[in-house]
Structure 1
Amino acid sequence: MEKHSSKILEEAVEAFASLPGVGRKSALRLALHCIYQSDEKLGRFTNAVKRLSTDLRFCKKCHHISDSEVCSICLDPGRDKKLLCLVESVRDVLAIEDTGHFRGSYHVLGGIISPIDGVGPEDLHIDSLVKRCKEEAVEEVIMAISPTIDGETTIYYVSRCLAEAGLKKVSILARGVAFGGELEYTDEMTLGRSIRARIPYEIAE
């Protein structure tokens, strides 16, 4: 491992390199860039990062990120409260919002069922989803879950829970999203078309 003459610089490089997708060379460039920034600019940067831990919340209704108890999407009166899009993570909400083709509400599961990774239904926000569908009289849930094996398992399980709760309409994204792919890496046009061309989901007996 390359070492530097300054332990302070080395610690900064290690910190940047711990971020996803940042290698040591990129981390070094970022650390060196910070050296030549003003105290005010660095202060704004470090404060913004710190607030992600101290001030950022998760919406009590949909589990999306929020600056307050309830997120701006849930509070938006222009949203269709009867149409709910179920996603794995916050990243998927951001990806779908970027398409500009969805004006309903969201519910973030917080992952997918994955026995290999030790993630079961009890680890996800499924109970709050069922409760919300009942309380808000949701008419349709779109399963915007990545089409992987674990994703398909999750769709099946959640669909059964919703059917038992009395929800009549569950749909999945049209297969413009390739099997095995992840929503956050799907281009906006394909994702937008997949939402508009969603198809009913039939539960196999």
Structure 2
Amino acid sequence: MMDGEQDKKKDLGRRQSKKDRTATALAWEALRLFSTQGYEETSVEQIAEAANVSRRTLFRYFSGKGDIILAWTSDMTQAFNDAIASASPDASLQDMVLLALLPVVRRITANREYAYALVQLLEHEPALRSVSLQKYEEWEEALAKALMDRLPPTDMPSLAARLIARTAIATYRTAVDEWMKTEGRTDLEHILRRAFTFHPLLWMEDSPLSLG
């Protein structure tokens, strides 16, 4: 009986692993096509063909092209949230905010061949604009919530946390804009770190929110 249960578990594990590989292949082929020929110009049939699956199989994993983009941005949001959750309680505000964003940067630039095209697509494609804005709103909310317990004493902790979170995400977006001006040829992580040295609430020594 035990052997039968173990075999079932192994079989389920193999099937899940195959499903995960198929979903990953579909996502990467879609992102590759989006980056090289454009979002609107890429069809579901092309994505399925590139991943060597049928159109019907694609729809088992994703409801459409937009769902693939949403899954990609959700992965970035998960990386962001995981970094916040794993931050040391002793980490400064500066470190926590920056380290939360670094996994996102590394995920974006994991494939330098078309990372720039993908970010440009996500930031400027009208059909995807709402997805991008929703992502940033989720990041702001998660960061503000995490900051509440780390702020120095203040009479308006919610305001302070949300202000830091919003300006932090704005700083990230500005770094991405600067990176895009170079068409992705520069190091995004370096630009982000440099941008955060100008963050007005976290780095000014006389800021009321300074930990120094």
| TM-score, normalised via structure 1 length | 0.33
Structure with higher strand content = 1
Question: TM-score w.r.t. structure 2 length?
Answer: 0.33
